[in-house]
Amino acid sequence: MSHAYTEDQLVEQPAIGLFAELGWAIAFGNPHPGPLPAGEGVIVDELGLLGRETKGEVVLVSRLRAALEKLNPSLPPEAITAAVDELTRDRSAMSLPAANREIYTLIKDGVRVSIAQPEDSPSSPALLPRGEGGAAVPSTSGRGIKGEGRGGDGSRRDSGGQRTERVRVIDWENPAANDFLLVSQFSVTGALYTCRPDLVGFVNGLPLVVIELKKPGVPARAAFDENLTHYKAEIPQLFWFNALLIASNGTDSRVGSLTADWGRFFEWKRIEREDEARRVSLEVMLRGTCDKVRLLDLAENFTLFSEHKAGLVKIIGQNHQFLGVNAAFRRLLRMRGVDSDLRSPSPQPSPPGRGSSVAARIGSPSGVELSPQAANVSPSPGGEGRGEGGPSTDIMPKPGQLGVFWQTQGSGKSYSMVFFAQKVLRKVAGNWTFVVVTDRVELDDQIAKTFKATGAVSETEGDQCHAASGAHLRELLRGNHRYVFTLIHKFQSPEMLCDRRDVIVLTDEAHRSQYDTLALNMRAALPNALFLAFTGTPLIAGEERTKDVFGDYVSIYDFQQSVEDGATVPLFYENRTPELQLVNPDLNEDIYNLIEAAELDPEQEAKLERELSKQYHILTRDDRLETVAQDIVRHFLGRGFVGKAMVVSIDKATALKMHDKVRKHWAAERQRVQTELGRYDLVADQKDVLLDRLRVLDTTDMALIVSPGQNEIQQMQKHGLDIVPHRQRMNDSQPPLDEKFKDPEDPLRLVFLCAMWLTGFDAPSCSTVYLDKPMRNHTLMQTIARANRVFPGKHSGMIVDYANVFASLEKALAIYGAGKDGKNPVKDKAKLVADLRKAVDAATAFCATRQVILPAIEQLTAGSLERLQRIDDAVNALISPDPLRREFFGHERLVGTLYGAVKPDPAALEFAGRVGTLTAIADAVRAKLNPNPADITEVMGDIGKLLDASITGVDMPAKPAPLMDLSKIDFEALRSRFKESKHKNTDLEILKAAIRAQLEKMIRLNKTRIDFQETFEELIESYNAGSRNIEDLFNELLALSRTLNEEQQRHVREHFSEEELVVFDILTRPAPKLSTPERDEVKKVARELLARLKQLLVLDWRQKSTSRSQVKLTIEDMLEAGLPQVYSADLFKQKCSAVFEHFYESYQEKDASVFTTAA
């Protein structure tokens, strides 16, 4: 009897039992050591051939042939034989990914075969029956039947009495109609070795699943490194057919594609719903991926092949993508009036005469019809509730609202878009068109590249369907295209372009412009379209309107979840904000004098006040930029993982300055390293480190990446900068700079940005973002996510903060954990529209009292001189007196606010003309009142010079703040804190700042007080973790503050000076248990030692070896003579060393110490 704790008994047999429970037949390729699983269909083959002629074969041909005959009953035997031959032919001359892609296409779309056509015989009936009537399978692209010249019956008549048929390999519509067989210990012979994978899952005789197991205690990775990798090299024929690979030790289970390295193997933690408890186990993995319905859904709809420079990559949907896309797909079916919960986890064959048809005719102008394949939605017992995947409610969404698909930056959101679009095209009959809309050029290019690389569109089609102008967009939307890529800025007018119901708009990053005027035009252009918003950041305060436009969340996969799942790497935050030293105590007074001397008018003063309130003038100080640039060089070269990095500056000019300064310090560091290498006394270890550093210094390339602008050459010249060579490089680089940065082997490792590449740009090897720009909310989250992509050898990403954005980051992270409950209901806009109508009527009536007839102005030809004159007349009528003008502005503001709240709802179109007229008049009035905008250029230049002279000595913090793992922050506690009253928060921050300043001074004088610092940090940490509320923390900090005050006065109670107390504390913290006389002895030696050592200190004593030696000997002699005998020899040595270290650090010169500075 086999041992109970072997891999077989602990892991493999339970897995086999679960497959049996899922309805798979079970076979054993070698004699089974124990009792067979219960149930029918268990096969034991003593020879391990399972119908194969040799163990070199990997396809169970007899089962394959039987399945093809069953699925294609109308085809003659020669067609079946031809299909079997095509599937099993040798592909060893091809690369493994290429062979896998070729066979995947055959399995997915069927095998085309040519057979004889009897002269008097009509075309064969349907190959791929839908019920009994039948219709051919759609192509992978979803645009009709593959192959030219095919009739509606799925066949094609060729010349010479031949016809082409397509042989179906798998019944995607009805998984139960296929043959599922799990083989344990399946032996395959290769050129050199015979390998025996633990479990191989066959569907219709084809090996789609390979599972390798280890016992608990052995890392699951060993199954990948030692077994799966070996199998792919030695028996590649087994993997030509592979859909997915699984490695598990029972407790840790991962799934991946045949091209994935271990870093791309991922866990499967949820089976049916996004909100279910997340578990990492072999059971969850197998139920989630190998249930019959889910396995075929993964293989058919969540598999892509992407072309890259490094070669062909196979991509399979991750757990969150699978659940999220299916949630959106289910919502689409519900909105089209089809029950999407069409299958149970183990569906039974359809009754005779019905097949698997669930076709449902949708009453619409375009006659959309749900194909039978649409039934293949992964099972969920949720019915009309949330269903599988998304957090949708039971309430039917509003027309056109497919929802908001929130999956965090870096978790494969672009691939989710492709999965969703491809599944709809394949599974739901209709002439579907997807309009992919973004609001930035780089995002537009990035998404189009993803669709092209995965074959969703060809290069030619992708270019042809990329709207180059508004007119081109109109042409594309009126044509017949699967995909149209466009910027939202192409929707310049509310003209209707397409009224079809089978148009789906996929918007990426649905904030800002997606619900502004352009979005209103887009809604008007596509009145019957469905809208699905993809975003990597949640909807935050002020962006609830996105829900109004797109609907509620259909999928949520947030920052924490993606890190926990390994879909992204952890991000660590390091605050390295430079400390500014103010050397002009009269700075404020000097600024006031400058302003008074400038004799500014009130408007100029207001503008100056707004400008001075910004951080810009501090962040762009030249000496500060020098300090930051020097620190970037030091930090970049000191990192462990030498990934690529981005430096984000506040604007274009500052980015260029930073580039030039970093290059200068880079050159200085190279010179320093070369000098060090020339030392004759350099040890081997030091030399190796310096050589590695020099290699990075010599090979690293840098580039400026900023968008072009009008007059930028002249603008940069005003700052003493030359942007011309940079612009030439950005325009002419081959390969383009974005491709060079994405290529991990390219030496372009450091780029300088201000806005470009911060969204919609993926460079997985980028591991560090240097932030020197104030940012907040989703813009900040999108920026830091540039460093969270998974890449081999990259453990984490680093955010280095020079602009002190921590408060904004903390708030954004708090928001980032919010929104999961979807509590913000979609508000009905009927009342808003009614309020807008009232406001427009009131404004129109008010203008009429001054003889300004708005309808009459609107009826005049746009662009005519007559309309211009009427606008001018309206300005004259409404500009004075002041009360009249203020009342008009009040009407115009109310109308504009309500109009903005209603947009982009089509109901706003009714008011667009009137709002435009009111806005034009109001703008003209304002222009009349302010013909010359306030100019503060001269005084700002003077203030800049004053700041340069007043803020100097910029230094990096002596001890940078400790690293913070952003994924470990408790979002719930943060959210609660931000809901507290502002006064409590303000009081708390003032108290924290006061205690921190007090602690810094106390510890600088006496380092034995470090325990107070630890107590303080523990209190703050516990508050951040949510274990203390704000009142508790405030009270405890008050108590700590009182304790610190008492500590500061302790030297008086001990009859010491502050300096003497430090020496005493060093000698007694820690110390053996002292009696009162022994304690007095220590006090005495502390006083005498301090006095004696201060006498010994001479000028530059720390640089003179004789002076240092004399101090050390004096410490040892006096402590030897004065300390009580209870001090052991080891403790004596420690105290001698600690006292010397204190003097060395605290007494720089004879009469200069931290105590004189503090005084």
pLDDT in tens, 763-800: 888 989 998 887 766 677 777 777 878 787 777 788 88
User: Is the same domain home to 1066 and 1043?
Assistant: no
Measured CA to CA in angstroms, residue 999 lies from 581, 1005, 1010, 1048 at distances of 20, 10, 9, 10
pLDDT, residue 1023, reads 59
Residue 160 burial (C-beta neighbours within 10 Å; 0-12, 13-18, 19+): exposed
Range 197-210 average pLDDT: 96
Is 616 inside a domain boundary?
Answer: no
What is the spatial distance between Cα 1155 and Cα 1059, in angstroms, rounded to a whole number? 7
Distance CA 479, CA 498 (A): 9
| Pairwise CA distance, residues 230 & 259, whole Å | 13
- For the cut 70, the answer to whether the pLDDT of residue 904 exceeds it is no
- CB neighbours (10 Å) of residue 415? 21
Q: Which of 778, 713, 723, 720 is nearest to 752 (CA)?
A: 723
- Looking at this protein, which amino acid is placed at residue 766? C
Q: What is the pLDDT of residue 35?
A: 56
Q: Indicate if the pLDDT at residue 142 is higher than 70.
A: no
Band of the pLDDT at 286, cuts 50, 70, 90?
very high
* Res 266 pLDDT > 60: yes
pLDDT in tens, 80-128: 999 999 999 999 999 999 999 999 999 999 999 998 876 555 444 433 3
What are the tokens at 286?
């197998």
Q: 212 lies in a domain?
A: yes
Q: What is the pLDDT of residue 884?
A: 84
Question: What's the rounded mean pLDDT across residues 873-895?
Answer: 86
In this predicted structure, the answer to whether residue 833 has a pLDDT above a threshold of 50 is yes
The boundaries of the domain holding residue 1056 are 1051-1158
Please provide residue 266's backbone torsions phi and psi, each rounded to the nearest 5 degrees.
-130, 160
Sort strands 244-248 and 194-195 into parallel, antiparallel or unpaired: unpaired
Structural domain ending residue among the three candidates 768, 792, 816: 816
Q: Identify whether residues 1023 and 1066 lie together within a single domain.
A: no
Residue 914, domain member (yes or no): no
- Shared domain for 795 and 859, answered yes or no, is no
Same domain, 249 and 333: no
For residue 479, what are its two tokens? 């044509």
pLDDT over 50 (residue 974): no
Nearest by Cα to 115 from 169, 170, 63, 167: 167
Spell out the alpha helix ranges (H) of 336-378. none
- By 3-state DSSP, what share of the chain in percent is helix, strand and coil, each rounded to 5? 50, 15, 35
Surface-to-core class of residue 979, CB atoms within 10 Å of its CB (0-12 exposed, 13-18 middle, 19+ buried): exposed
**Long-range Cβ pairs for the range 259-265 (8 Å, 24+):** 259/96, 259/97, 259/311, 259/312, 259/313, 259/314, 260/314, 261/792, 262/221, 262/224, 262/225, 263/790, 263/791, 263/792, 264/790, 265/224
* Mean pLDDT calculated for residue range 880-895: 85
Q: Model confidence over 959-973: pLDDT tens digits?
A: 555 565 555 555 445
Q: Of the segments 31-45, 108-122, 438-452, which one has the largest average pLDDT value?
A: 438-452
Assign 998 a pLDDT band (cuts: 50, 70, 90): low
Q: What is the mean pLDDT of residues 426-445?
A: 85
**Is 334 in the same domain as 252?**
no
* pLDDT recorded at residue 90: 92
Provide the pLDDT for residue 146.
36
SS3 per-residue string spanning 159-205: CCCEEEEEECCCCCCCHHHCCEEEEECCCEECCCCEECCCEEEEECC
- Give yes or no for a contact between 781 and 750, defined as CB atoms under 8 angstroms apart: no
Q: Do 440 and 545 reside in the same domain of the chain?
A: yes
Strand ranges in 188-251 using DSSP code E only, listed in sequence order: 188-189, 194-195, 199-203, 206-213, 244-248
Distance CA 567, CA 561 (A): 8
Question: Under the phi-then-psi rule, with left for phi > 0, alpha for psi from -120 to 50, and beta for the rest, what region is 916?
Answer: alpha
Please tell me whether residues 362 and 497 are part of one structural domain.
yes
Average pLDDT over residues 246-262: 91
Could you identify the residue written with the tokens 């409950």? 821
Residue pair 35/183 in contact by the 8 Å Cβ criterion:
no
3-class SS at 797? strand
| Average pLDDT estimate for 643-669 | 93
554-609: pLDDT as tens digits: 777 666 777 776 777 777 777 787 766 655 666 556 665 665 566 656 666 566 55
Q: Is the pLDDT of residue 1 over 80?
A: no
pLDDT of 1037 over the 70 cut: no
Q: Which of 353-367, 667-681, 1022-1036 has the highest mean pLDDT?
A: 667-681
Spatial distance between the Cα atoms of 72 and 85, rounded to a whole number of angstroms: 16
Q: Name the residue type at position 364.
A: S
In this structure, what DSSP letter does residue 140 have? T
Last residue of a domain, one of 785, 816, 847: 816
What was the pLDDT predicted at 4?
Answer: 55
Query: Residue length, the chain?
Result: 1159
484 and 363 in a common domain: yes
Whether residue 514 has pLDDT greater than 60: no
Q: Mean pLDDT over residues 401-409, rounded?
A: 77
- β-strands 553-557, 303-308: how paired? unpaired
- Residue 273 DSSP label: B
Most confident option among 29-33, 62-66, 367-371: 62-66
Query: Residue range 174-190: average pLDDT?
Result: 93
pLDDT of residue 837 exceeding 80, the answer is yes
| pLDDT exceeds 70 at position 943 | no
pLDDT at residue 157 greater than cutoff 80: no
pLDDT of residue 1090: 87
Residue 828: the pLDDT is: 44
**What pLDDT, on the 0 to 100 scale, is given for residue 948?**
64
In angstroms, the CA 357 to CA 349 distance is 11
Please state which of the ranges 42-51, 146-155, 415-424, 1140-1149 shows the lowest mean pLDDT: 146-155
Pairing of strands 748-753, 701-705: parallel
Structure confidence at residue 668 (pLDDT): 95
The residue-averaged pLDDT of 1074-1099 equals 87
Bigger pLDDT: 452 vs 130? 452
Lowest mean pLDDT, pick from 556-565, 719-728, 1108-1117: 556-565
In angstroms, rounded to a whole number, what is the distance separating the alpha carbons of residues 787 and 798? 7
Within a domain: 165: no
Compute the average pLDDT of residues 1041-1066. Answer: 80
- Domain co-membership, 748 together with 848: no
Cβ burial of 89 (10 Å; 0-12, 13-18, 19+) is exposed
Residue 418 lies in a domain: yes
* pLDDT in the model for residue 466: 87
Distance between CA atoms of 978 and 992, rounded to whole angstroms?
17
- 709 within some domain: yes
Residue 580 tokens, joined? 């500014």
Query: At 673, which CATH number?
Result: 3.40.50.300
What 2-8 contacts at long range (C-beta under 8 Å, 24+ apart), as own/partner pairs, is 2/33, 2/34, 5/215, 6/215, 7/213, 7/214, 7/215, 7/218, 8/33, 8/34
Across 23-150, where does the E strand assignment appear? 25-28, 42-44, 111-116
Give the pLDDT confidence score for residue 981 in this predicted structure.
40
Residue 987 structure tokens: 């009081």
Is 640 part of any domain? Answer: yes
* Number of domains the chain contains: 6
Q: Is the pLDDT of residue 702 over 50?
A: yes
Residues 501 and 539 in one domain: yes
Would you call 1042 exposed, middle or buried from its count of C-beta atoms within 10 A (0-12, 13-18, 19+)?
Answer: exposed
> Is residue 881 reached through a cis peptide bond, with omega within 30 degrees of 0 on the bond before it?
yes
Q: Are residues 843 and 755 in the same domain?
A: no
On whether both 406 and 445 belong to a single domain, the answer is yes
Token representation of residue 1006: 């006496």
Q: What is the pLDDT of residues 208-231, one digit of tens each?
A: 999 999 888 888 889 999 999 999
Question: Do 20 and 26 meet the contact criterion of CB atoms below 8 Å apart?
Answer: yes
The pLDDT of residue 380 is: 46
- For the residues 901-909, what does the mean pLDDT come to? 69
Residue at which a domain ends, from 852, 886, 904: 904
- Weakest mean pLDDT among 97-111, 355-369, 504-518: 355-369
Give the pLDDT of residue 123.
45
Q: What pLDDT does residue 312 have? A: 92
Q: DSSP letter at 223?
A: I
The CA distances from residue 1001 to 286, 494, 1005, 1006, 1148, in Å, are 60, 65, 6, 9, 17
Instruction: Indicate whether 104 belongs to any domain.
Output: no
- Higher-scoring residue by pLDDT: 472, 94: 94
Give φ, ψ of 156 to 5 degrees.
-135, 130
